[in-house]
């Protein structure tokens, strides 16, 4: 029996980051992972593989659409999907092995197997009992499917199966216009699939600033994605080669159906806690299955903490990572902290969509006095040169104090651009602070500055 200061259950972005930080702070640490590779959903079947496919298909699209416009002549590339999947697997392997290396470097013990909690100080892994002063639950989430929909990961798939299709489907129906549906839907649309997205609500990406969501849908439509909004999926019937999705339109209760070679179910994720033994130690969970925590990520059982997708809040790798660091620091006797008001969200489509802070709808609902500074990428020189003029930056600031309250970007490199506003918000900056910061020319980031200027006397180039 080994003795640890901390055992972390789950080796995803929350768990492995927490483990490394614990070790850095001098705690004897082990991380339990049962999937055979570190990195969790994000590295193995989520963020990283999907980004590899997004990157490859975006370059393919760039080559077929824009190369000749720039005088780059010659044969257009064709798609070898098998090879593309091999490239994706190589990216996964490189990253997961990187974490194993970091574990060794930081002297974190990697316990291979599925862990279960036996008591506040004991974790069982593969029949072996380990003793510990603290436990961190970082077991993440799993796809939550719909009643009447049986996933076989071949014809009816979740994001996991969508990353492993044997060939590019002719027709794909995506259920759910959330982040997964739109990222994977646009990958397959670029590869030539006829993609239809069926969404329950009347808008795509619920929760996103409405201006941005509207523009986003327009751009995706132009890229060939079809949308059926206000449609509740009733069920999916599948054979060995195809599937039929039936849905009911909310406006008139009429029923309709769509045939597809592959159906992607992207209707959200739920906390993953099965086999963890939460009931045995009486750890409280919410009605939605989320592990309940206090302000320091501690569950109702002293010494047992929880972070990431398994607790409340956005299911984002970087939110889990920040919580991992904060819990490690808390266990080490420091003041761990996460600023939940400044957590960026990015949709990695082309163009990217990124946001941080409050949306205009949230500000309205709270009756706040705010001003809006908007700047289109059409007026940005670099965007023009790069065929990336679709989209805009929208900055929201307090009317009285000029303090930045939120920012929403749809356009080139939005996922990178957003971070200057994250830093600004962390420092309590005003729109004028951003507007008075010199931004290099010619860069996309000038659009951020111009949106900040638009909150004041006005942008220069629009
Ligand atoms: P989501 O919650 O973002 O979107 C699910 C969508 O499905 C919603 O728009 C919902 O209205 C719709 N829906 C639910 N039931 C339906 C029905 N019966 N018929 C039609 N539509 C229905 O969930 P998603 O896209 O599956 O993502 C899961 C989680 O993973 C999210 O929390 C997301 O933030 C995270 N994620 C984040 C990524 C990123 O940050 N780039 C990438 C991929 C996932």
- CATH label of the domain that carries residue 37: 3.50.50.60
Give the residue, out of 53, 176, 353, with the most ligand 1 atoms within 8 A of its beta carbon, to mutate for a pocket test: 176
Asked if residue 336 is part of any domain, the answer here is no
Asked if residue 236 is part of any domain, the answer here is yes
325 closest CA partner among 309, 307, 302: 307
Are residues 282 and 426 located together in one domain of the fold?
no
Q: Tokens at residue 228, please?
A: 């059926």
Asked if residue 275 is part of any domain, the answer here is yes
Whether 315 lines ligand 1, by a CB cut-off of 6 Å, is yes
The pLDDT of residue 145: 87
Whether 269 lines ligand 1, by a CB cut-off of 6 Å, is yes
Whether 263 lines ligand 1, by a CB cut-off of 6 Å, is no
The pLDDT of residue 50: 96
The residue range of the domain holding 241 is 156-267
Sheet containing strand 262-265, strands side by side? 156-157, 262-265, 171-175, 194-198, 226-228
Task: Say what angle helices 179-190 and 210-222 make with each other, to 10 degrees.
Answer: 20
Report how far ligand 1's centroid is from the alpha carbon of 143 (Å).
9
Are residues 94 and 182 located together in one domain of the fold?
no
Residue owning tokens 């259950």: 9
Report how far ligand 1's centroid is from the alpha carbon of 199 (Å).
10
Give the residue, out of 52, 179, 344, with the most ligand 1 atoms within 8 A of its beta carbon, to mutate for a pocket test: 179
Q: How far apart are CA 371 and CA 320, in angstroms?
A: 32
Residue owning tokens 């309709």: 256
Please measure the distance between the N-terminal and C-terminal CA atoms of the chain and give it in whole angstroms: 68
Which are the contacts of 29, defined by CB distance < 8 A and separation ≥ 6? 4, 5, 6, 7, 8, 19, 22, 23, 107, 108, 109
Are residues 415 and 440 located together in one domain of the fold?
yes
Asked if residue 151 is part of any domain, the answer here is no
Are residues 110 and 19 located together in one domain of the fold?
yes
Asked if residue 416 is part of any domain, the answer here is yes
Last residue of a domain, one of 290, 309, 331: 331
Q: How many CA atoms lie within 13 A of 228 on its CB side?
A: 22
Would you write out the chain's pLDDT as a tens digit for each of its 462 residues? 569 999 999 999 999 999 999 999 999 999 999 999 999 999 999 999 999 999 999 999 999 999 999 999 999 899 999 999 999 999 999 999 999 999 999 999 999 999 999 999 999 999 999 999 999 999 999 999 899 899 999 999 999 999 999 999 999 999 999 999 999 999 999 999 999 999 999 999 999 999 999 999 999 999 999 999 999 999 999 999 999 999 999 999 999 999 999 999 999 999 999 999 999 999 999 999 999 999 999 999 999 999 999 999 999 999 999 999 999 999 999 999 999 999 999 999 999 999 999 999 999 999 999 999 999 999 999 999 999 999 999 999 999 999 999 999 999 999 999 999 999 999 999 999 999 999 999 999 999 999 999 999 999 998
Are residues 190 and 262 located together in one domain of the fold?
yes
In ligand 1, which atom is closest to the CA atom of 198?
20
Strand ranges inside 312-436, DSSP E:
345-347, 352-357, 370-376, 392-398, 404-411
Are residues 127 and 185 located together in one domain of the fold?
no
Q: How far apart are CA 20 and CA 8, in angstroms?
A: 10
Asked if residue 365 is part of any domain, the answer here is yes
Asked if residue 150 is part of any domain, the answer here is no
Are residues 7 and 19 located together in one domain of the fold?
yes
Last residue of a domain, one of 291, 309, 331: 331
The pLDDT of residue 1: 52
Backbone φ/ψ region at 391: left (φ over 0), alpha (ψ -120 to 50), beta:
left
Number of domains into which the chain is organized: 3
Q: Tokens at residue 41, please?
A: 């959903």
Are residues 137 and 6 located together in one domain of the fold?
yes
Are residues 231 and 366 located together in one domain of the fold?
no
Are residues 117 and 176 located together in one domain of the fold?
no
Asked if residue 149 is part of any domain, the answer here is no
Whether 232 lines ligand 1, by a CB cut-off of 6 Å, is yes
pTM recorded for the entire structure: 0.96
Last residue of a domain, one of 267, 287, 318: 267
Are residues 305 and 374 located together in one domain of the fold?
no
Are residues 353 and 230 located together in one domain of the fold?
no
Give the residue, out of 178, 198, 217, 355, with the most ligand 1 atoms within 8 A of its beta carbon, to mutate for a pocket test: 178
């Amino acid at each position: 029996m080994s003795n640890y200061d901390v055992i972390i259950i789950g080796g995803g972005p929350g768990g492995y980051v927490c483990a490394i930080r614990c070790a850095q702070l001098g705690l004897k640490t082990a991380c339990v992972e049962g999937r055979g590779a570190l990195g969790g959903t994000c590295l193995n079947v989520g963020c990283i593989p999907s980004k590899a496919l997004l990157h490859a298909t975006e370059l393919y699209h760039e080559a077929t659409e824009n190369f000749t416009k720039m005088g780059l002549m010659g044969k257009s590339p064709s798609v070898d999907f098998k090879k593309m999947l091999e490239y994706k697997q190589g990216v996964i392997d490189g990253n997961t092995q990187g974490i194993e290396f970091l574990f060794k470097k930081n002297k974190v013990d990697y316990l291979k197997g599925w862990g279960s909690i036996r008591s506040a100080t004991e974790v069982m892994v593969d029949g072996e009992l380990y003793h510990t002063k603290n436990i961190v639950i970082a077991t993440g989430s799993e796809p939550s499917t719909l009643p009447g929909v049986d996933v076989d990961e071949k014809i009816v798939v979740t994001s996991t199966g969508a990353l492993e299709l044997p060939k590019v489907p002719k027709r794909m129906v995506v259920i759910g216009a959330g982040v997964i549906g739109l990222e994977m839907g646009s990958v397959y649309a670029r590869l030539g699939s006829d993609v239809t997205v069926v969404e329950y609500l009347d808008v795509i990406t619920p929760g996103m600033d409405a201006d941005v969501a509207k523009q986003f849908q327009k751009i995706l439509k132009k890229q060939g994605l079809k949308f059926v909004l206000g449609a509740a999926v009733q069920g999916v019937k599948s054979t060995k080669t195809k599937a039929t999705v039936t849905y009911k339109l909310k406006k008139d209760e009429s029923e309709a159906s769509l045939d597809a070679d592959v159906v992607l179910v992207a209707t959200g994720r739920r906390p993953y806690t099965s086999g963890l033994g939460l009931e045995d130690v009486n750890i409280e969970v919410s009605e939605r299955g989320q592990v309940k925590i206090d302000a320091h990520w501690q569950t109702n059982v002293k010494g047992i903490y929880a972070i990431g997708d398994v607790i409340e809040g956005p299911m984002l790798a970087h939110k889990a990572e920040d919580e991992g660091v904060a819990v490690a620091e808390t266990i080490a006797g420091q003041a761990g902290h996460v600023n939940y008001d400044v957590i960026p969200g990015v949709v990695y489509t082309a163009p990217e969509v990124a946001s941080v802070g409050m949306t205009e709808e949230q500000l309205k609902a709270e009756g706040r006095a705010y001003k809006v500074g908007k700047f289109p990428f059409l007026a940005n020189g670099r965007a023009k040169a790069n065929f990336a003029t679709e989209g805009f930056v929208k900055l929201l600031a307090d009317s009285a104090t000029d303090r930045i309250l939120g920012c929403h970007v749809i356009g080139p490199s939005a996922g990178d651009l957003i971070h200057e506003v994250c830093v600004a918000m962390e420092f309590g900056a005003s729109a004028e602070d951003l507007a008075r910061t010199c931004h290099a020319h010619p860069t996309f980031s000038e659009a951020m500055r111009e949106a900040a200027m638009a909150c004041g006397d006005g942008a220069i180039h629009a």
